[in-house]
Amino acid sequence: MIKHLLSITQLAPEDVTRVLDTADSFREVGTRVIKKVPALRGRTVVNLFYENSTRTRISFELAAKRLSADVINFSTSGSSVSKGESLKDTALTLEAMGADAIVMRHSSSGACHTLTKWVKASVLNAGDGTHEHPTQALLDLYTIRERYGRLEGLRAAIVGDILHSRVARSLTLGLVKMGAEVTLVGPPTLIPPEAPQWGVDVSYELDGVIPKLDVCYMLRVQRERQRQQYFPSVREYSRIYGLSRERVAQLPEGALIMHPGPMNRGVEIASEVADLPQSVITEQVTNGIAIRMSLLYLILGGGAGEVSDVA
């Protein structure tokens, strides 16, 4: 496997399959009375979060704990970071305390990559700026594969603010890598100009895309983007790009509705749509723990120093 997980592009299709297959076993662990295995006993995992996050941090924390690793949560408020400590000094301090892996979220794209140059510990990207969020993409791939038994040939649309979404970037690259057909949907202002080079289709309207989808993936719309004038009003956005009851009726039967959370009910997804049986949003959360266990196990369960470093 790899030493660091910075980007979904590091993984070959067979690596992705291995991560998903291993996650299957960890899913089973999650159904036991004792949801814990001793695989990473004695290892230390640090959650270093420079941006607010509830679900990703808790998910990583639970994943590490279920592997019997020791977990340290380090968030920037109330820590030495608020006293002006640099990322490098913080990382070196954590490493001096014996961290084997650092899970980092940071507002700057590429921060995780930079971190790998300073520390010997493995670095796992939990979201860096508008760049990538590879563990989210892998848990989404897992959730889709679980329902369809495959990824190849599936048709997926990712709808919303593609431009600022690290989830969209990672998931698109992951889906394309695994042979799925991806359409990116959103207002022209929120589709990155380089998107066609990712091997995807682009559409500025949702209605024409809906009837042929296996997966409809809705992205969170940040209201501040409206203030930055990427779209005229939240209401208009919701009318054109929101997943309403009427649009769901046009989806093929059994098509999955997904969302990385946290949701704006009534904006990008109608509240009753989020609660439909075909919406797998809570399954995504459950699967996230298994995927992160899988990644921590595969990255930390190998020998020190012998793994190939792709960073």
Partner 1 sequence: MGGSPRGRLMERDDIGRAVTRIAHEILERNKGAEDVVLVGIAARGDDLALRLAEELARIEGEKVPVGVLDITFYRDDIGLRAEAPEVHETRIDFDVTGKTVVLVDDVLYTGRTIRAALDALVDFGRPRAVQLAVLVDRGHRELPIKADYVGKNVPTRRDEVVRVALEETDGEDAVVVEEPQA
| Interaction of residue 92 with partner 1, rule CB under 8 A | no
Q: How far is the CB of 49 from partner 1 (least distance, A)?
A: 26
Compute the distance between CA of residue 145 and CA of residue 34 in angstroms, rounded to an integer.
26
**Total interface residues for partner 1 by CB under 8 A:** 27
Of 105, 106, 220, 292, the catalytic one is 105
Residue 263's closest CA among 287, 247, 240, 284?
A: 284
| Interaction of residue 307 with partner 1, rule CB under 8 A | yes
Q: Residue 133 catalytic? A: yes
| Interaction of residue 249 with partner 1, rule CB under 8 A | no
**In sequence order, what are the beta bridge partners of 132?**
128
Q: Which of residues 24-83 bind partner 1 (CB under 8 A)?
A: 24-25, 28-29, 32-34, 36-40, 43, 67
Region from 145-153, 199-207, 229-237, 299-307 binding partner 1, contact rule CB under 8 A = 299-307
DSSP reduced 3-state for 2: strand
Nearer to partner 1, 22 or 172 (CB): 22
CB atoms within 10 A of CB 163: 19
| Tokens 């990672």, residue located | 170
Size of the chain in residues: 311
CB atoms within 10 A of CB 26: 24
Among 30, 110, 261, 302, binds partner 1 (CB under 8 A): 302
Among 2, 3, 8, 22, binds partner 1 (CB under 8 A): 22
Q: Residue 56 catalytic? A: yes
Of 4, 27, 133, 155, the catalytic one is 133
Nearer to partner 1, 232 or 301 (CB): 301
Q: Give the chain's count of helices (H) and strands (E).
A: 11, 9
Q: Where are the alpha helices (DSSP H) in the chain?
A: 13-29, 55-66, 87-96, 111-116, 134-148, 166-177, 223-227, 234-241, 245-250, 271-274, 281-300
Q: Residue 105 catalytic? A: yes
Catalytic residues: 55-56, 83, 105, 133
Binding residues (CB under 8 A) for partner 1: these are 1, 21-22, 24-25, 28-29, 32-34, 36-40, 43, 67, 297-304, 306-307
